[in-house]
Amino acid sequence: MKTLIFNGSPRINGDTESLLKIVRENIVGEYKLVNAYRCHISPCMDCRFCWKEPGCVIQDEMQEVYDYIKECDNILIASPVYFSELTGKMLDVGSRLQTYFAAKFFRNEVPITKEKRGAVILVGGGDGRVEKAYETACKLLQYMNCKQVHPLVSSHNTNVQPAIEDAEALVGINSILKFFGKE
Ligand SMILES: Cc1cc2nc3c(=O)[nH]c(=O)nc-3n(C[C@H](O)[C@H](O)[C@H](O)COP(=O)(O)O)c2cc1C
């Protein structure tokens, strides 16, 4: 079992990380972690190479991520909510999935054959709503061929209660782990 985990938070010991620690310690099989604020992945420049050719011209760490996306079984996007969206760096990384959209829309190709399970964890201080960020995360999962997506797990009161103390979020994390562990 292989799981790709995106961490959209800049905080080393923040709320997202505290929940991801539980995921990493309990996940079945191997995982690859992409930290949006620490990885060397540039945003899509809309050069439109992928309108005609598979892959992406930008030679950076995303090339390894593309390989892992092809072979993995599960994909988890975990991020804080900034201005009711995923964080900017998470969107930068996500923009590199445009090659998958182009494959289908412009080249009429199926870029990823293996179907995956997906899940989203969002944390927020408590302002506004998380729905927009969730919708964006689901769109990214869809680009990566996640056919089944676990219901959203969120902790949206972190200004008052750290995510790690949010009992409902912890139940949700457990449920994602079970969902990802299925053969
Ligand atoms: C620039 C910025 C924008 C934010 N926007 C929101 C928001 O729209 N809604 C919300 O609930 N929290 C918002 N927050 C709060 C964070 O989502 C919250 O502190 C979260 O727990 C941080 O997660 P982390 O510790 O994993 O980085 C924002 C924080 C920052 C720095």
Q: What is the pLDDT along the chain (183 residues), one digit of tens a residue?
A: 999 999 999 999 999 999 999 999 999 999 999 999 999 999 999 999 999 999 999 999 999 999 999 999 999 999 999 999 999 999 999 999 999 999 999 999 999 999 999 999 999 999 999 999 999 999 999 999 999 999 999 999 999 999 999 999 999 999 999 999 976
Q: Measured from the CB, is residue 9 less than 6 Å from ligand 1? A: yes
The two structure tokens encoding residue 110? 């199926």
With 0.85 as the threshold, say if the pTM is over it. Answer: yes
Question: Phi and psi for 64 in degrees, rounded to 5?
Answer: -65, -35
Position 26 scores a pLDDT of 96
Position 182 scores a pLDDT of 78
Nearest residue (by CA) to ligand 1, atom 25, is: 14
Alpha-carbon span 22 to 20, nearest angstrom: 5
Q: Measured from the CB, is residue 131 less than 6 Å from ligand 1? A: no
Alpha-carbon span 37 to 15, nearest angstrom: 15
CA of 125 to the centre of ligand 1 (A): 5
Closest by alpha carbon to 151, among 125, 169, 128?
169
| Contact present, 64 and 56 (Cβ < 8 Å) | no
CA of 124 to the centre of ligand 1 (A): 5
| Contact present, 79 and 86 (Cβ < 8 Å) | yes
164's CB contacts (< 8 A; 6+ apart) are: 15, 18, 19, 170
- The 10s digit of each residue's pLDDT in 22-44 is 999 999 999 999 999 999 999 99
Alpha-carbon span 56 to 50, nearest angstrom: 6
Nearest residue (by CA) to ligand 1, atom 17, is: 124
